[in-house]
Amino acid sequence: MNQLLPVLSCVLVSAVLPVWTVNACHNGATCVTGVGEDPFICICADGFGGDTCNLTETGPCSPNPCRNDGTCEVIAPTRRGDVFNEYVCKCQPGFEGAHCQINVNDCAKDPCRNGGTCRDLDGDYTCQCPSPYVGKQCQLRCITLLGMEGGAIAESQISASSVHYGVLGLQRWGPELARLNNQGIVNAWTSASHDRNPWIEINMQKKMRLTGIITQGASRMGAAEYIKAFKVASSLDGISYVTYKGDGIRRDKVFVGNVDNDSTKTNLFDPPIVAQYIRIIPVVCRKACTLRMELVGCELNVYSNTAGCSEPLGMKSRLISDDQLSASSTYRTWGIDTFTWHPQFARLDKAGKTNAWSPTQNNRSEWIQVDLGKTKQLTGIITQGAKDFGVVQFVSEFKVAYSNNGESWNVVKDGNTGRDQIFQGNIDNNSHKKNVFEPPFYAQYVRVIPWEWHERITLRMELLGCDD
Ligand SMILES: *[C@@H]1O[C@H](CO)[C@@H](O)[C@H](O)[C@H]1NC(C)=O
Ligand SMILES: *[C@@H]1O[C@H](CO)[C@@H](O)[C@H](O)[C@H]1NC(C)=O
Ligand SMILES: *[C@@H]1O[C@H](CO)[C@@H](O)[C@H](O)[C@H]1NC(C)=O
Ligand SMILES: *[C@@H]1O[C@H](CO)[C@@H](O)[C@H](O)[C@H]1NC(C)=O
């Protein structure tokens, strides 16, 4: 198939200039016309060189014997027998071996603690932590009692679908009483007996990470009342709610609740729930739906505070996979497929002939997009330019937009002027330029919109932040 390409492009030329009746480019090379002074240029396949690609190896590093974007350095351009061996491969992080052929297993040292599951990445690893552990290595425990019992959650933050009034309407079993170990004659929440869809809700006033719930019944007039089974729903905005399903399970998860009036039952959320509003929905109640409870969790930035929330989010390490990257358009050098500047190439420090993203047009309508797969906290970005056949190209100014649905976008604003923030980008083909988002934002989708550039819009990048 490759052999046909040059023939096709040179046959095209031969129609104009009948002198060329044969393909001038050898060994599977691609023939390009209409570029610069020369009537044509041959782009050689790996392993060949020379103007018409009729020469094989031209030195120990040509073709590059190093795999996985390793760079080859010549020690001495001499031959021994018919192989070159006077070179050394400088490997990209995460690779080793004489030819960088070994992808180092970053999980080999078991970096994940507390039962976390490790996934090897290019030059990095990621831990999937069992609840209630969080952090890069699952080293932190997210187990703060959030304040139903202690009082940090105020009465005004607790509401319910209905309230039971006992003893001729004099006893109010209101939601504000639903505090673990609450004492007294009237010491818990009970839903009204006619309420067919009871719930009690806690508004935590900001997004929190919840890793568990402790429930308890109560006794009324000498009889035990409690919730035997319940579901949990949560919401970010108090308007749309999702019922907790548990990892990989389609049906709503039904939690096992209490068995008597006084003992406590702890259930873990694994994975944790990230939400501002949490609703407990009784499914099976004994005598009445009566509840005292506590929530277990932590601030979202417990992770950020310790790790600085400026972890690379995985452009370079490939935690962000190719199908999570897209762009407004994609440039092809000389219109050749082999030299397509895909958004999937926009990975920081990527090596190779085409090693960055570049759009078809150089205008301010172009963008590259990262779908992070779920909402993450974004605190910064590192950008980098590249070279296209020796020409230095980079983005010198850019805007950043973000979205939670991939449809409606917010452009990051300058805190002082309120206008779209213009970030200062690169000044050369290779150095890293870091910009910080102040304040950080939460988003699943992030777009970079080039605003000014040198030669052609050309971008490699990394996003910085942390989960949630
Ligand atoms: C390669 O091609 C050039 C010009 O087309 C020719 O002069 C040279 O002898 C060729 N070399 C080999 C090794 O075929
Ligand atoms: C409630 O629980 C306490 C402590 O377990 C127990 O002594 C008491 O008998 C229970 N009351 C009812 C009505 O079940
Ligand atoms: C950018 O280029 C595209 C494609 O040529 C064009 O449709 C669009 O109008 C241009 N936008 C601006 C702002 O020039
Ligand atoms: C491109 O970057 C490399 C590595 O930093 C540097 O050595 C080289 O001089 C740069 N090339 C140009 C043309 O600026």
Residue nearest (by alpha carbon) to ligand 2 atom 2 = 262
User: Are residues 285 and 405 both part of a single domain?
Assistant: no
Q: In this predicted structure, what is the pLDDT of residue 33?
A: 73
Q: What is the pTM of this model?
A: 0.61
Q: Is 351 in the pocket of ligand 4 (CB under 6 A)?
A: no
Residue nearest (by alpha carbon) to ligand 3 atom 8 = 365
Residue 277, domain member (yes or no): yes
Token pair 């259930």: residue: 267
User: Are residues 395 and 270 both part of a single domain?
Assistant: no
Q: Is 26 in the pocket of ligand 1 (CB under 6 A)?
A: no
- Ligand closest to the CA atom of residue 457: 3
Q: How many domains does the chain have?
A: 3
Residue nearest (by alpha carbon) to ligand 4 atom 3 = 430
**130: Cβ–Cβ under 8 A, 6 or more apart, which residues?**
114, 115, 116, 138, 270
Q: Which domain holds residue 423?
A: 311-467
User: Are residues 219 and 242 both part of a single domain?
Assistant: yes
Beta-sheet strands, E only, within 78-149: 79-80, 83-84, 87-90, 95-96, 102-103, 117-121, 124-128, 133-134, 140-141, 144-145
Q: Is 50 in the pocket of ligand 1 (CB under 6 A)?
A: yes
Phi-psi region of 84 (alpha: psi -120 to 50; beta: other; left: phi over 0): beta
Residue 36, domain member (yes or no): no
Residue whose C-alpha is closest to residue 186's, from 203, 207, 163, 208: 163
Q: Is 321 in the pocket of ligand 3 (CB under 6 A)?
A: no
User: Are residues 463 and 315 both part of a single domain?
Assistant: yes
Residue 109, domain member (yes or no): no
CATH of the domain at 85: 2.10.25
Q: Is 361 in the pocket of ligand 3 (CB under 6 A)?
A: yes
Q: In this predicted structure, what is the pLDDT of residue 124?
A: 81
User: Are residues 222 and 324 both part of a single domain?
Assistant: no
User: Are residues 342 and 269 both part of a single domain?
Assistant: no
Q: In this predicted structure, what is the pLDDT of residue 26?
A: 83
- Ligand closest to the CA atom of residue 364: 3
Q: In this predicted structure, what is the pLDDT of residue 423?
A: 97
Q: Which helix (H) or strand (E) segment is 13 a member of?
A: helix 4-16
Q: Is 57 in the pocket of ligand 1 (CB under 6 A)?
A: no
- Ligand closest to the CA atom of residue 24: 1
Q: Is 429 in the pocket of ligand 4 (CB under 6 A)?
A: yes
CATH of the domain at 338: 2.60.120.260
Residue 343, domain member (yes or no): yes
- Tell me the CA–centroid distance for residue 339 and ligand 4, in Å: 20
User: Are residues 233 and 360 both part of a single domain?
Assistant: no
User: Are residues 293 and 316 both part of a single domain?
Assistant: no
Residue 243, domain member (yes or no): yes
Q: At which of 278, 299, 320 does a domain end?
A: 299
- Ligand closest to the CA atom of residue 52: 1
User: Would you say how long the chain is, in residues?
Assistant: 468
Q: At which of 275, 299, 323 does a domain end?
A: 299
Residue 406, domain member (yes or no): yes
User: Are residues 175 and 321 both part of a single domain?
Assistant: no
User: Are residues 276 and 322 both part of a single domain?
Assistant: no
Per-residue pLDDT of the chain (468 residues; tens, 9 = 90+): 333 333 344 443 334 444 444 567 888 888 877 666 666 777 777 777 777 787 776 677 876 778 888 888 887 655 554 454 678 899 887 788 888 888 888 898 899 999 999 998 877 888 989 989 988 899 988 999 999 999 999 999 999 999 999 878 889 999 999 999 999 999 999 999 999 999 999 999 998 999 999 999 999 988 999 999 999 999 999 999 999 997 677 899 999 999 999 999 999 998 899 999 999 999 999 999 999 999 999 987 654 444 568 889 999 989 999 999 999 999 998 777 778 999 999 999 998 878 999 999 999 999 999 999 998 999 999 999 998 877 899 999 999 999 999 999 999 999 888 999 999 999 999 999 999 998 899 999 999 999 999 999 999 999 999 876
Residue 188, domain member (yes or no): yes
Residue nearest (by alpha carbon) to ligand 3 atom 7 = 365
CA dist 44 and 53 (Å) reads: 5
CA dist 141 and 303 (Å) reads: 10
Burial class from Cβ neighbours inside 10 Å (0-12, 13-18, 19+) for residue 82 reads: exposed
Q: Ligand 3: which atom is nearest the Cα of residue 329?
A: 4
Residue 26, domain member (yes or no): no
Residue nearest (by alpha carbon) to ligand 2 atom 4 = 262
Q: In this predicted structure, what is the pLDDT of residue 456?
A: 95
User: Are residues 340 and 276 both part of a single domain?
Assistant: no
User: Are residues 214 and 238 both part of a single domain?
Assistant: yes
Residue nearest (by alpha carbon) to ligand 2 atom 14 = 224
Residue nearest (by alpha carbon) to ligand 4 atom 4 = 430
- Ligand closest to the CA atom of residue 450: 3
